[in-house]
Structure 1
Amino acid sequence: MALTGKLETEVEVKVAADKAYGIFRSQTHQLPNIASDMIHKTEIHEGDWETPGSIKSWNYTIEGNVLSLKETIEKIDEENKSITYKVVDGDVLKLYKSMKVTIQVTAKNDGSSLMKVIIDYEKLKEDSPDPHPYLEFAAKVFKHIETHLLKA
């Protein structure tokens, strides 16, 4: 069994790519308001909301468990509307030696978008589960973002 892996999922949302990407690019502090049942709190520990190297903490719920993590923005690709985050501390590192999460938003011709999450990870132990709940979490957050942006 491999210790490293990559999972991804894609969700179609009925909002423009620039708006959907904008939530992750400069408005992540709004996510506790947008998906309050899933994301409870975000805080800056170093830097700001938008600069690579900045460190943010998150309190969130997955599968009924309230968890926390700290992440840093590792890479921003404006042209491809993509941001890569690296987990640097928290509950997720009890199962995984490392985890990187990339969010990418792609415009479709009809004005809607595809929001994709890619999770690259390395397990601490062979029997650690694959992080499928994090994919499901991201897909649900994407739908919350869609609902929020359609109301705006």
Structure 2
Amino acid sequence: MSLTGKLETDVALKASAERFHEMLCSRPYHVSNAFPGKILGVDLHEGEWGKEGSIICWTYVHDGETKIAKQRVEEIDSKNTSATFVVIEGDVLKADKSFLLKLGVTPKGEGSVAHWTLEYEKLNADIPHPESLLEFCSQVSKEMDAYLSSGQA
């Protein structure tokens, strides 16, 4: 059994690709406004918001537990509305040796589609694949979309 894996999902959005990408990549501290019950805080530890190389720490509720994930912004491509984040510390790394999140947002009709990719290497074969984290990304996307569509952002 392979310890490396890749999970992907698409989430239909009403918001434009640019607005969704900009909120998640340049103003992630607003995500807690969109999903206050699950995203408890987003803190900048190094660098600048929306800049590659920055270190961001997320405090969130997943599977009923408060968790943290410190991530490095590996790439932000505003032109192609894509981004890559590498988890460097936190609860995810209790199960995975490495964890990478990729986001691509594509215009579609009057809205867009967020495409999430999780790439990971589990610490051992007994650890389940992180399907619940993929679902969490989908839920966050839907809540962000509702927030952006409500005109509050």
The whole-number CA distance in structure 1 between the counterparts of 2:56 and 2:88 is: 10
Structure 1 range deviating more: 84-93 or 71-80? 71-80
1:148 alignment partner AA: Y
SS in 2 for 1:85: strand
Conserved 8 A contact 1:29-1:49: no
Structure 1 gaps of 5+ residues are none
SS in 2 for 1:18: helix
Alignment correspondent of 1:16: 16
Q: Deviations over 1:66-99 (max 9, x none)?
A: 1111001011222321100000001110000000
Alignment correspondent of 1:44: 44
1:150 alignment partner AA: S
SS in 1 for 2:18: helix
SS in 1 for 2:20: helix
Structure 1: which 4+ aligned runs deviate by more than 6 Å? Answer: none
Alignment correspondent of 2:128: 129
Conserved 8 A contact 1:67-1:91: yes
Question: What is the correspondence of 1:21-32 to structure 2 with a 5 Å cutoff?
Answer: 21-32=21-32
SS in 1 for 2:144: helix
CA RMSD of aligned residues (A): 0.9
Alignment correspondent of 1:147: 146
1:10 alignment partner AA: D
The whole-number CA distance in structure 1 between the counterparts of 2:38 and 2:103 is: 17
Percent of aligned pairs sharing the same letter: 37
The whole-number CA distance in structure 2 between the counterparts of 1:93 and 1:63 is: 16
Shift of 1:116: 1.1
SS in 1 for 2:128: coil
Aligned length: 151
Shift of 1:9: 0.4
Structure 2 gaps of 5+ residues are none
The whole-number CA distance in structure 2 between the counterparts of 1:131 and 1:7 is: 8
Shift of 1:103: 1.2
Conserved 8 A contact 1:76-1:82: yes
Q: Deviations over 1:10-44 (max 9, x none)?
A: 01011211111111221101111111111101111
TM-score (norm 2): 0.95
Structure 1 range deviating more: 82-91 or 48-57? 48-57
Shift of 1:148: 0.5
